[in-house]
Amino acid sequence: MSELHFFIDYARCIGCQACVQACQECDTHRGVSMIHLETIERHDSVQTAPQVCMHCEDPICARVCPADAIKQTPDGVTQSSLKPRCIGCSNCVLACPFGVPKYYGRIDQMMKCDYCYDRTSTGKRPMCATVCPSQALAFTTREEIERTRAGVAINEWWFGGERVRTKVFVVVPAKTRSLGVGLVQIHKKAALGARDDVAALLEEGA
Amino acid sequence: MARLPTSLDALSEEFGPHPSHEPAGGWLPIGEPDRVVKTHCCFCGQQCGLQLKVKNEKVVGFEPWEEFPFNRGKLCPKGVKRYLQDEHRDRLRTPLERADGVGFRPVAWDPALDRVAAEMRRIQQTYGADAFALLTGASLTNERAYLVGKFARVALRTANIDYNGRLCMVSAAAASKKVLGIDRAANPWSDIPKADVILIAGANIGECAPITTDYIWQARERGAKIIVLDPRMTPIARTVDLFIPVKPGGDIGVFNGMLHVMIERGWIDRAFIAAHTTGWEALAEAIKRYPPSRAAEIAGVPAPMIVRAAELWGPARTSFLLHARGIEHHSKGVENCMAAINLVVATGRIGREGCGYAMVTGQGNGQGGREQGQKCDQLPGGRDIENPEHRRHIADVWGVPEHSIPHKGLSAVPILEAIHEGRIKGLLLLCFNPMVSLPDQSFIRAALEELEFFCVIDFFLSETAQHADLVLPTALMEEDEGTTTNVEGRVIHHRRVVAPPTGIREDWRILCDLAQRLDAGQHFRYRSPAEIFAELRRASRGGVSDYYGITWERIDREGGVFWPCPSPEHPGTPRLYEGARFGHPDGKAHFQAVDWRPAAEEPDAEYPIILTTGRVVAHYLSGTQTRRIGGLVDQTPEPYCEIHPRLAEQLGVRDGEMVRVESRRGAVTVRALVVRTIRPDTVFVPYHWPGERAANRATIRALDPVSNIPEYKICAVRVTPA
């Protein structure tokens, strides 16, 4: 069988939080959920988006760590900080382009999604991607994704001029090659499509 | 006497709900469990397969069950966290007797059961056999549902037994039977991804049947067109091809309007209609009254939406209809469903791969719970309690004279009404929490206060059990064994994962113990649920829902077995109506012409806004279980009122502030959630909470005349800042 990979397909997410609840059940960090489920803007839409660690090929969090506390396994999984080394400085929290690492004051340590390493390293699928009822999170082969999804799976991002390649793939509309994430003007309100407003739909028709 | 025995605060302090945030032994790593048991989630009609981890005879965690064919390991948050009920501090561990001014006092099993039996006798001897009623639930296993129906008819001989499926599946059931002849989803879920167009009517799939989402998305990946009817833009509706934000109660406008366009443009299968149906002429005549302009007026949406729906649905090669409570919870719920099913039959797209129809059954054993004879008008096997032949068959299986079996009794809400009027004096209730789930809460509470004797069987002290004279503690699903029948009609096996805690008896033992005390012990000599299932198979034999060929061993081996399965050699029936053979004696489908009519209570000058109610993904039904599971409570801690910004502005309501949602019957005060995803003429409040937070304080006790389902989806309210 081909290698299993992690895929995020944002268009499928229904915001049910099965991933959040299941992440808590993982033996390496029981009781604490490492996945982030973002509710984009509930007043305007029911859209939600799950965010696991993308496991960058060259992890930025590890590069900026002054204590060398963040390690990558030979199979490309970036782990939570090592307890004896982490100094709680939160450089990683600030540097991650995906907003994944979080600093936990109670244990004075950074923790993050570790690809369910206790499971994936023994051939099991990660908790979140196994339970995800919409399969917005999926752990399967590239062939299976190509066979069953209309979009394509990519793992190349551009943050301004910087290219980031990740172990985790995202499913995007066909023909997309990479994802450019430019600067966002946070004070400017995004224009709402009529599609998002039920009152507008009722006025404009189909 | 069913007033609270002490203050609500005192009861809540002792019995909860206290959200449990940690499993037995805390959040420490489990390590190697002693065993991992394959079973199912109990928190909706999909009945997803999962595995529970056991250590030192306690359920300590879960593991996905990826081989189970229906859900392949997928679960919603309820399935993930369901195991946190097991070692819950709120579990009842002894029978409890009300003690006025104190609350509840422990009592031993024997005196407790003696008292229940004595009260049953006293009430029945004083007021007649039907003065003692049973209210039961669609989350019971098939075995328990069968047993409680038999208990009512054989041990108590009361006609008055009904169940909370009356709040859930009955409109879909009646419509299916009238049009197609059988009350079951027509297709297995594996047909959904093969459909070219999917019509989802009044079903918030993402929250109420989350696993089904993947089936729908699989179809979408293949290029299927998806249409959603809902007053709210649900997570599924957000990205579909056509979202029709229908006005609550306007669904018939959409369905009849679509059929009008389809007839006009020739998108119906005339050969199929001629060969396999009756009633087409009457239907076609009625449909003439629904040109898109009038249909749109009824539906409260622009006419082009209805035309577009017809254009997507009409000419498709394959199609699938899914509907749920959104069109069923109406005083015209049966008619809404029939109008939808007409669209399926008119195209002849049923009984084939990728072609069909399903109601999305909501409760744990919503399908099986309605087949085994706990409905007021039904005997096991989906049999009719007024049909002499059906009565004789069941009388033979039970070993009782046919005439001793009572005739049709009252359905759930009329039972409460009869209690209110003093015609029913005693009540045994299990697996039902009317003090959250029934409409017009102040009436329901007043009714319970009229009872002379009220016994509740539950694992927690539900809001209803707080009013009881006697409470008997029972086992959770994973502490007993049995079968349920999932949303597809697939019969599945719930294994006993651990023994019930000391002091607790399973429902079936309690019923058998009571039957013994009512001198009917010879009819209730079961040593295990397996023996009850063996009798259920014989009782269902030859009926519509025939389980005769199904055994627990076959279920385990085959990943479930679909009924009807009339013999051990029979493979089961995943897809009904193959070869266009329908369930009626003439083998045909019977079109039902349906005309739109208004709801029992439409908005007016005094109460100008429509209130519609429903579920959220984190909670199950009345919340007796899920409001005790910490992770689920954190996810949705309280009800809220969805309100469109335009309406909010008119009313002076601001996001996050408390609003009072008031009808002619009562008011509920909840936080406003101002969102663009709902119609501006409608507000939505989820119903899982009791007391001051109960949406059902406001809802109306209006019933569908055929199914007797309450109209949870429409009543008139005014909304004001609280």
Q: Which of A176-190, B83-97, B141-155, B167-181 has the lowest mean pLDDT?
A: A176-190
Residues 464-493 of B with CB under 8 A from A: none
- Asked if the C-beta of A134 comes within 8 angstroms of chain B's C-beta atoms, the answer is yes
- Total Cβ atoms within 10 A of residue A94: 12
The enclosing H or E element of A38 equals strand A36-39
pLDDT at position B26, please? 87
pLDDT at position A41, please? 87
Q: Which of A4-18, A167-181, B253-267, B676-690 has the lowest mean pLDDT?
A: A167-181
Q: Within B405-563, where are the H helices?
A: 412-420, 434-437, 441-448, 507-517, 529-540, 552-558
CATH number at residue A32: 3.30.70.20
A9 within domain boundaries: yes
Question: Which residues does B650 contact at the CB level (< 8 Å), separation at least 6?
Answer: none
Q: What is the mean pLDDT of residues B225-242?
A: 97
Q: Which residue of A has its CA nearest to B642?
A: A43
Nearest to B323 by CA among B227, B219, B240: B227
Q: What is the mean pLDDT of residues B625-639?
A: 97
The tens digit of pLDDT for each residue in B546-585 reads: 999 999 999 999 999 999 999 999 999 999 999 999 999 9
A132 within domain boundaries: yes
Residues 79-118 of A with CB under 8 A from B: none
Pairing of strands B658-662, B667-674: antiparallel
Q: What is the mean pLDDT of residues B439-463?
A: 97
Write the ipTM. Answer: 0.96
Mean pLDDT across chain B: 97
* Secondary structure letter of residue B155 according to DSSP: I
CATH value of B609-721 in 2.60.40.420, 2.40.40.20, 3.90.1150.10, 3.60.15.10:
2.40.40.20
Residue B112, pLDDT > 50, answer yes
- Cβ–Cβ gap A42/B673 under 8 Å: yes
**Per-residue CA distances from B360 to B9, B205, B221, B357, B487 (Å):** 38, 9, 22, 10, 6
A188 within domain boundaries: no
Q: Which residues span the domain enclosing A76?
A: 5-147
**Cβ-nearest to A199 among B31, B618, B680:** B680
CATH architecture, domain B19-85: Single Sheet (2.20)
pLDDT at position A189, please? 65
Phi then psi for residue A180, to 5 deg, are: -95, 125
Cα–Cα dist B658/B648, whole Å: 12
Residue A206, pLDDT > 50, answer no
Question: So where are chain B's domains?
Answer: 19-85, 96-166+408-570, 170-359, 609-721
Nearest to B339 by CA among B250, B271, B276, B275: B250
Question: Which residues does B454 contact at the CB level (< 8 Å), separation at least 6?
Answer: B1, B2, B426, B427, B429, B448, B467, B468, B469, B470
Cα–Cα dist A92/A195, whole Å: 38
The tens digit of pLDDT for each residue in B652-685 reads: 999 999 999 999 999 999 999 999 999 999 999 9
pLDDT at position A191, please? 64
Cα–Cα dist B467/B6, whole Å: 10
- Asked if the C-beta of B630 comes within 8 angstroms of chain A's C-beta atoms, the answer is no
- Cβ–Cβ gap B221/A14 under 8 Å: no
pLDDT at position B30, please? 82
The tens digit of pLDDT for each residue in A154-195 reads: 999 999 889 999 999 999 999 888 888 877 776 666 666 667
Q: Which residue of B has its CA nearest to A10?
A: B239
Query: Sign of torsion, CA A94 A95 A100 A105?
Result: negative
A169 within domain boundaries: no
- Domain B170-359 class? alpha beta
pLDDT at position B31, please? 83
The tens digit of pLDDT for each residue in A122-133 reads: 999 999 999 999
Distance of CA A66 to the CA centre of its chain: 24
Residue B1, pLDDT > 60, answer no
- Cβ–Cβ gap B245/A45 under 8 Å: no
Task: Specify whether the CB–CB gap between A170 and A8 falls below 8 A.
Answer: yes
The tens digit of pLDDT for each residue in B374-417 reads: 999 999 999 999 999 999 999 999 999 999 999 999 999 999 99
Task: Specify whether the CB–CB gap between B41 and B50 falls below 8 A.
Answer: yes
Q: What is the mean pLDDT of residues B365-372?
A: 96
Number of domains forming the structure of chain A: 1
Cα torsion at B195, B201, B207, B212 (round to 10°)?
-20
Cα–Cα dist B541/B566, whole Å: 7
CATH architecture, domain B96-166+408-570: 3-Layer(aba) Sandwich (3.40)
Shortest distance between the Cα of A201 and any Cα of chain B, in A, equals 8
pLDDT at position B48, please? 98
- Asked if the C-beta of A50 comes within 8 angstroms of chain B's C-beta atoms, the answer is no
Cα–Cα dist B183/B190, whole Å: 19
Q: What is the mean pLDDT of residues A79-101?
A: 96
- Total Cβ atoms within 10 A of residue B166: 26
Task: Specify whether the CB–CB gap between B109 and B95 falls below 8 A.
Answer: yes
Cα–Cα dist B214/A117, whole Å: 26
**Cβ-nearest to A43 among B66, B71, B655:** B655
Q: What is the mean pLDDT of residues B484-512?
A: 97
Residue B478, pLDDT > 80, answer yes
